[in-house]
Chain A
Amino acid sequence: MRFLFKTRYDQDIDLARHAGDRLWYGLLLALLVIAPAWLPEYWLAQLTFVLIYGVVGVGLMLLAGYTGLFSLGHAAFLGVGAYTETVLASMGWPFPLSLAAATALSAAVGAIVGLPALRVKGIYLAIATLAFGFIVEEILARWESVTGGNAGKIVPTLDVFGWKADTPASFYFVCLVVAVIATLAVLNLLRAPTGRAFVAIRDSEISAQSMGIHLARYKTLSFMVSAALAGVGGALYAHQIRFLSPDQFGILQSIDLLLMIVIGGLGSIHGAFLGALFLITMPQLITLGKDYLPGAVAEATGLQAFVYGIVLIAFVLFEPMGLYGRWLKLRTWFDLFPFYRAGMFRRQKSFQKSDRLR
Chain B
Amino acid sequence: MQILQLLVSGIAQGCIYGLIALGFVLIYKATETVSFAQGELMMLGAFLGLALIAGLGFPFWLAAIAAIAAMMLFGIALEFAVVRPILGQPAFSIVMVTIGIGYVARGAITMIPNVGTETHTLAVPYRNEIVHAGGLVLAVEHLVVIVCTALLCALLYLMFRFSRIGVAMQASSQNQLAAYYMGIPVKRLNGLVWGLAAGVAAIAGLLLAPITFVHVNMGFIGLKAFPAAVVGGFGSLPGAIVGGLVIGVVESLSGFFLPEGFKDVAAYVVVLLMLAIRPNGLFGENLAKKV
Q: Is B100 in contact with A304, judged by CB distance below 8 angstroms?
A: no
* Interface, chain A (partner B; CB < 8 A): 70, 115-116, 119-120, 122-124, 126-128, 130-132, 134-135, 138, 141-142, 206, 210, 251, 255, 258-259, 262, 296-297, 300-313, 316-317, 320, 347, 349-358
**A residues less than 8 Å from B186 (CB atoms):** 351
Known interface pairs A309-B101, A313-B97. Does A128 touch B91 (Cβ–Cβ under 8 Å)? no
Q: How many residues of B contact A (CB 8 A)?
A: 64
B227 sits at the interface (CB 8 A)? yes
B4 sits at the interface (CB 8 A)? no
B69 sits at the interface (CB 8 A)? no
- What's the minimum C-beta distance from A220 to chain B, rounded to whole angstroms? 15
- What's the minimum C-beta distance from A317 to chain B, rounded to whole angstroms? 6
Known interface pairs A316-B100, A352-B87. Does A307 touch B107 (Cβ–Cβ under 8 Å)? yes
B52 sits at the interface (CB 8 A)? no
Chain B, range 88-114, C-beta contacts under 8 Å to A: 88-89, 91-93, 95-97, 99-111, 113
Q: Is A119 in contact with B117, judged by CB distance below 8 angstroms?
A: no
Kindly state the separation between the CA atoms of A305 and B109 in the bound complex, as whole angstroms: 11
- What's the minimum C-beta distance from B247 to chain A, rounded to whole angstroms? 11
Q: Name 29 A/B residue pairs within 8 A (Cβ), A-sorted.
A: A70-B92, A115-B276, A123-B234, A124-B279, A127-B271, A127-B275, A131-B269, A132-B272, A138-B261, A138-B264, A300-B110, A300-B113, A300-B116, A301-B117, A302-B108, A302-B110, A305-B104, A305-B106, A305-B107, A306-B103, A306-B108, A309-B100, A317-B82, A350-B88, A351-B87, A352-B87, A356-B235, A357-B288, A357-B289
**A residues less than 8 Å from B104 (CB atoms):** 305-306, 309-310, 313
**Top 4 closest A-B pairs, CB basis?**
A302-B110, A306-B107, A309-B103, A309-B104
Known interface pairs A130-B226, A302-B110, A317-B85. Does A354 touch B175 (Cβ–Cβ under 8 Å)? yes
Known interface pairs A124-B279, A300-B111, A306-B104. Does A131 touch B97 (Cβ–Cβ under 8 Å)? no
**B residues less than 8 Å from A313 (CB atoms):** 82, 97, 100-101, 104
- 1/0 per residue, CB under 8 A from A, across B258-271: the answer is 00110011011101
Kindly state the separation between the CA atoms of A32 and B276 in the bound complex, as whole angstroms: 46
B177 sits at the interface (CB 8 A)? yes
Kindly state the separation between the CA atoms of A316 and B97 in the bound complex, as whole angstroms: 7
**B residues less than 8 Å from A357 (CB atoms):** 287-289
Known interface pairs A127-B227, A306-B107. Does A135 touch B265 (Cβ–Cβ under 8 Å)? yes
Q: Is A128 in contact with B287, judged by CB distance below 8 angstroms?
A: no
B8 sits at the interface (CB 8 A)? no
- 1/0 per residue, CB under 8 A from A, across B180-194: the answer is 100000100000000
Q: Is A312 in contact with B275, judged by CB distance below 8 angstroms?
A: no
Kindly state the separation between the CA atoms of A301 and B113 in the bound complex, as whole angstroms: 10
- What's the minimum C-beta distance from A276 to chain B, rounded to whole angstroms? 17
- What's the minimum C-beta distance from B70 to chain A, rounded to whole angstroms? 21
Q: Is B223 in contact with A358, judged by CB distance below 8 angstroms?
A: no
* Residue of A251, A255, A258, A317 with most partner-chain B CB within 10 A: A317
**B residues less than 8 Å from A115 (CB atoms):** 276
Q: Is A297 in contact with B87, judged by CB distance below 8 angstroms?
A: no
Contact with A141, one of B32, B116, B173, B261 (Cβ below 8 angstroms): B261
- What's the minimum C-beta distance from B196 to chain A, rounded to whole angstroms? 18
Main secondary structure, interface of A, reads helix
B44 sits at the interface (CB 8 A)? no
Total A-B Cβ pairs within 8 A = 166
* Interface, chain B (partner A; CB < 8 A): 28, 31-34, 82, 85-89, 91-93, 95-97, 99-111, 113, 116-117, 173-177, 180, 186, 216, 223, 226-227, 230, 234-235, 260-261, 264-265, 267-269, 271-272, 275-276, 279, 285, 287-289, 291
**B residues less than 8 Å from A128 (CB atoms):** 271-272, 275
Q: Is B100 in contact with A310, judged by CB distance below 8 angstroms?
A: yes
Other A-B pairs beyond A309-B102, A351-B176, 19, CB < 8 Å: A123-B91, A123-B95, A123-B234, A124-B275, A131-B272, A134-B268, A135-B269, A135-B272, A138-B265, A141-B261, A262-B96, A302-B108, A302-B111, A302-B216, A316-B96, A353-B88, A354-B32, A355-B91, A358-B289
Kindly state the separation between the CA atoms of A127 and B274 in the bound complex, as whole angstroms: 12
Kindly state the separation between the CA atoms of A240 and B264 in the bound complex, as whole angstroms: 30
- What's the minimum C-beta distance from B264 to chain A, rounded to whole angstroms? 6
**A residues less than 8 Å from B102 (CB atoms):** 309
Q: Is A312 in contact with B268, judged by CB distance below 8 angstroms?
A: no
**B residues less than 8 Å from A301 (CB atoms):** 110-111, 117
Q: Is A303 in contact with B107, judged by CB distance below 8 angstroms?
A: yes
Contact with B268, one of A123, A132, A354, A358 (Cβ below 8 angstroms): A132
**B residues less than 8 Å from A320 (CB atoms):** 86, 89, 93
**B residues less than 8 Å from A135 (CB atoms):** 265, 268-269, 272
Which residue of chain A has its CB nearest to the CB of B289? A357
**B residues less than 8 Å from A255 (CB atoms):** 99
* Residue of B96, B106, B116 with most partner-chain A CB within 10 A: B96
Kindly state the separation between the CA atoms of A177 and B99 in the bound complex, as whole angstroms: 34
**A residues less than 8 Å from B106 (CB atoms):** 302, 305, 309
Contact with B287, one of A138, A349, A356 (Cβ below 8 angstroms): A356
**A residues less than 8 Å from B86 (CB atoms):** 316-317, 320
Kindly state the separation between the CA atoms of A320 and B87 in the bound complex, as whole angstroms: 13
**A residues less than 8 Å from B279 (CB atoms):** 119-120, 124
Kindly state the separation between the CA atoms of A210 and B291 in the bound complex, as whole angstroms: 11
Kindly state the separation between the CA atoms of A352 and B269 in the bound complex, as whole angstroms: 32
**A residues less than 8 Å from B223 (CB atoms):** 130, 134, 251
